[in-house]
Structure 1
């Protein structure tokens, strides 16, 4: 029994001595850092590198070389069969005319189709509920058209309406292969970011270090319409169209190290 108590006492004393030694080592380390002054403190946090982070924007413009039209044929009739037959005939004429105008098969794509009942809602003057009356059906057939020769755009619109297109209004000017103009926008964005970083470094009294990170924002640049004078001439009986130009914007995020 006495031997057990002695063993426990020796164990506790050993733990206490080890703990005291750890405290002494920590205090000595603190004294060592304090003896170095501010430089010692800076060395302690130098694992976090000082950097400059900036965003750069670049823009490049070009004339569009393609238009995408959204056209629809809408027909109403007493029965769904009659409405569909009338719509089919009109759309067949429209598609034939588009092909005759030089639109390739690959540039014609059905973009929507619907058959909808049409109701008449009688006025209720006696306070009772009167059910709606079915009066007919409406068929809508939409087509997406890529026009690659913009000199024919007005003619295509005019013929389409003449042959049965009676709903639409969607038109988008774009570029078939915008890679070259997007490359120019990227170069401008990086140059803008570098210039911003240099200005910030100069204002802060430091030197710009190595490039740490360069990333483009993930969204693919899409054309933004920019107004300009129309450079194309159209036939007198065609729909007048102004093509303008497209701008492609690119944004990059850049991180530079700071050399002190």
Structure 2
């Protein structure tokens, strides 16, 4: 005897990623100072917007050289000179972080403000849910009760009795999201429009199959 129960999970927040990407020449100090200024401005904005420090997590910090390569064939044709070696012409710094926004009314303003504060890459918008364990346990209990009631009804209708329970089988269904999201990759700092974010809900399903002896 089978029964399926569907429950909806409340969304607890949204996580997005942002990056500050800065290119410069070979003056590494000037480049790192510029990155630090922009990154600190973003963090200051987030904290001012009510984002807790524990919800801001730096995920990437990299300093990579940009190298120019010379081709003897195209850059020095028939010169008879040794081919020029490659040289570093500048560096690129990328600093990325994940941010969790727990207040859905602030999401649009936070996304726009992060970009206005200096982030030139905002992406990976993900909705997070409450701990699904309690919701799944509730769905599981409801499904078992309904399957037992259904078995009793069928036994009564068929004029037989059900015996001992032989097995319980459970099938979980992947949650199906119910929301509209806006996760732009923003490449310009100003002007910045405030995106609309719809939170919605998320569904989880539990399917229970009970197997009984028949008397």
Alignment equivalent of 1:149, drawn from 103, 112, 116: 103
Gaps of 5+ in 2: 78-82, 182-191
Alignment equivalent of 1:75, drawn from 22, 28, 35: 22
CA contact (8 A) 2:6 2:206 kept: no
Larger deviation: 156-165 or 177-186?
177-186
Alignment equivalent of 1:249, drawn from 201, 204, 208: 204
Larger deviation: 159-168 or 190-199?
190-199
Alignment equivalent of 2:177, drawn from 220, 225, 240: 225
Change (3 A) 1:123 1:59: farther
Partner of 1:166: 120
Partner of 2:80: none
User: How far off its partner does 1:188 sit?
Assistant: 5.2
Q: Residues 199-252 of structure 1, C-alpha deviation per residue, up to 9 Å, x if partnerless?
A: 9999xx9865433333656x8x875421369xxxxxxx7522232423232445
Change (3 A) 1:87 1:62: same
Change (3 A) 1:159 1:244: closer
Aligned-residue Cα RMSD (Å) equals 4.0
CA contact (8 A) 1:60 1:181 kept: yes
Partner of 2:56: 108
For residues 152 and 199 of structure 2, the distance between their equivalents in structure 1, rounded to whole angstroms, comes to 36
User: How far off its partner does 1:166 sit?
Assistant: 1.0
CA contact (8 A) 1:69 1:171 kept: yes
The structure with the larger Rg is 1
- Bigger share in helix: 1
For residues 208 and 69 of structure 2, the distance between their equivalents in structure 1, rounded to whole angstroms, comes to 58
CA contact (8 A) 1:113 1:140 kept: yes
Change (3 A) 1:210 1:119: farther
**Residue correspondence of structure 1 range 204-215 to structure 2 within 5 A:** 208-214=162-168
For residues 78 and 119 of structure 1, the distance between their equivalents in structure 2, rounded to whole angstroms, comes to 11
CA contact (8 A) 1:173 1:243 kept: no
Q: Which has the higher contact order (CA 8 A, sep 6+)?
A: 2
For residues 90 and 228 of structure 1, the distance between their equivalents in structure 2, rounded to whole angstroms, comes to 31
Q: Residues 131-186 of structure 1, C-alpha deviation per residue, up to 9 Å, x if partnerless?
A: 65422221211111111111111111111001111113111122344455434433
Matched, 1:64 2:40: no
For residues 199 and 113 of structure 1, the distance between their equivalents in structure 2, rounded to whole angstroms, comes to 63
Residues matched between the structures, number:
196
Partner of 2:36: 88
CA contact (8 A) 1:91 1:164 kept: yes
